[in-house]
Amino acid sequence: MLQITTTSKTVLSYKPVSNLLSEGSTNTKTAKNSIQTYILYLAPADIIGTHNLCPFASEGCKKSCLYSAGRGAFSNVQQSRINKAKFWAYDRKNFYVQLTNEILKINSKATDKVAIRLNGTSDIDHLDLIKRYTGIDFLSSEFSKLLFYDYTKNPNVFKKYFNTNYKLTFSMSENNFDQVKDILQIGGNVAIVFKSFLPDNFIGYNVINGDLTDLRYFDPSNVVVGLIAKGQAKKDTSGFVITKY
């Protein structure tokens, strides 16, 4: 197995992390996935204060974020995600070396397809940064067993990977409707949060139930991925959650 070597650490503002990736079975939603899944959780948006891990997040998105839902409600889990986010922010080379080695290990042991979601609670172009820091392109045919998927609010990243093996679903918020229309018009998929039930169609596009599984990799093309409001999103008044449909 290919192994990337870490560089020496100086003063650390985070604690060493044993594993960056978590098994999907530890999460209520990814546990529904039909294939083995690994997910990376970092503290989202500007929670660590010095860096924004979700640069396109709206205020409604931040308030409705599932960061504190499920196991994320526990302080030790939140601290773990903050610690990993600081690792990413302050020691990026070693962060991506460790993440790359974890993915390489998963790939070497995989006997079938494995799903990997690198943005469980962040919105970063990790695959680009992995390639930049380690030289490894996980979208090459060498790693065909690995199925990378994510949600993003970054239209540039969405278009960059559109029609590649990295399956991205664009996320609608209260302030990006023009981008949503653009993404749908080119044939992409958009995740939209609805208040209480999922309509059959919305703004002229079929709606599929995104709560049945988190595995967006096999979704049909050019659809709305409907999600029912959960946690703090149930209280949303910003327009992030669709209430009239």
Q: Which pLDDT belongs to residue 7?
A: 53
For 164-231, the DSSP string reads SSEEEEEE--TT-HHHHHHHHHTT--EEEEESS---SEETTEEEEETTS-S-GGGPPSS-EEEEE--G
List the end-to-end C-alpha distance of the chain, in Å, as a whole number. Answer: 52
Q: Which pLDDT belongs to residue 2?
A: 55
Q: Which residue has the tokens 């799903």?
A: 115
Q: Which pLDDT belongs to residue 66?
A: 58
SS3 assignment, position 152: strand
Which residue type, as a one-letter code, is found at position 64?
A: S
Q: Which pLDDT belongs to residue 27?
A: 76
Over its length of 245 residues, how does the chain's per-residue pLDDT go in tens digits? 555 555 544 445 889 999 999 998 877 778 899 999 999 999 987 788 888 898 998 887 877 775 545 454 556 778 999 999 999 999 999 999 999 999 999 999 999 999 999 999 999 999 999 999 999 999 999 999 999 999 999 999 999 999 999 999 999 999 999 999 999 999 999 999 999 999 999 999 999 999 999 999 999 999 999 999 988 888 999 999 999 98
Q: What residues have CB less than 8 Å from 33, skipping those under 6 apart?
A: 24, 115, 213, 214, 215
pTM of this structure? 0.90
Q: Which pLDDT belongs to residue 30?
A: 85
Cβ atoms 194, 128 nearer than 8 A = no
- With b meaning 16 or more CB within 10 Å and e meaning fewer, what string describes 196-206? eebeeebbeee
Report the distance separating Cα 231 and Cα 218, nearest Å.
Answer: 26
Q: Which pLDDT belongs to residue 12?
A: 59
Report the distance separating Cα 198 and Cα 194, nearest Å.
Answer: 7
Q: Which pLDDT belongs to residue 52?
A: 87
Cβ atoms 217, 115 nearer than 8 A = yes
